Homo-oligomer: A and B are copies of this chain.
Amino acid sequence: MTKSELISSIFDNKSYLCVGLDPDMGRLPKCLMDCEDPIFEFNRAIIEATKDYCIAYKPNLAFYEAHGAKGWESLEKTMQVIPKDKFTIADAKRGDIGNTSRLYAQTFFDQLNFDAVTVAPYMGEDSVKPFLSFNDKWVILLALTSNVGANDFQMLETKQGNYLYQQVLEKSQCWAGDDQIMYVVGANKPEALAAIREMVPNHFLLVPGVGAQGGDLREISLAALNKECGLLVNASRSIIYASSDTDFAAAAREEAKKLQVGMAEILQQIS
């Protein structure tokens, strides 16, 4: 998906919500447990219930790999039921030497047909570049994550006078433009979000951590929206586990709708 298609989708749907498809077998509704593929049936119901309110879906690979070959099949089937106009993100946090990163890129872009992959920057340019050689596909580079451990290295001050995550933002802008790279920035860091927006005025930011992880939608948005929106806000657990009963899909729909209504109001202020 191109950047202009993504922006159109956001303003057409009045939403910049990404729904995280992180199906944890221990938390799935009991009513699905007799299905042949509970993970896929859960995802299908969640997608059907939320598709009117979101513009992107983000499966985290860990939840599929946990079930081996069967989990991988659940992921493939899930990708087939996501509507074609949704932006899809493989939350895989990969990154390896060049020939190996190329294989990961082929897997997620060519075979599974994702629009984007999250990539860890630690191994540098040649570990990220192979993901950037696909048309209309995206790298979403980890910059400043929402977990406590972000302080260990991402917030280390460098000799250049800024933090490591700012070095990641700076250097990676030489690798490709804002039509191919986005950045992950945690929702629990609104001051940092505003500073990051100054450094990368035109890039999309993927902001996880709204909902279960505690980030506030309005605060995040005011800190980091740009005139093209420039934000994908992800919620996973607060939506997909809104109820653990037979009404789980309806409850997920309500949670997604709440966030979308908030987003529609916020978007109105910039259009």
* A interface residues (Cβ-Cβ under 8 A, vs B): 22, 24, 60, 62-63, 65-66, 68-70, 72-73, 76, 91, 93-98, 100-101, 103-104, 106-107, 111-112, 120-128, 142, 145-154, 156-160, 164, 167-168, 171
Q: Which residue of B lies closest to A76 (CB)?
A: B68
Q: Which residue of B lies closest to A125 (CB)?
A: B149
Once A107-B65, A142-B123 are accepted as A-B contacts, the answer to whether A156 and B164 lie under 8 Å apart by CB is: yes
Integer count of this chain's copies in the complex:
2
A128 to B150, CA, bound (A): 12
Q: How distant is A255 from chain B, measured CB to nearest CB, in Å? A: 19
Q: Which of the residues B63, B66, B145 comes within 8 Å of A97, measured between beta carbons?
A: B145
Q: Which residue of B lies closest to A147 (CB)?
A: B97
30 pairs from A and B in contact (CB 8 Å cutoff)? A60-B100, A62-B94, A62-B96, A63-B103, A66-B106, A66-B107, A66-B111, A69-B69, A69-B76, A91-B96, A93-B94, A93-B95, A93-B123, A120-B120, A120-B123, A122-B122, A122-B142, A122-B154, A123-B149, A127-B149, A128-B149, A153-B167, A156-B158, A156-B160, A156-B167, A157-B158, A157-B159, A158-B158, A159-B159, A164-B164
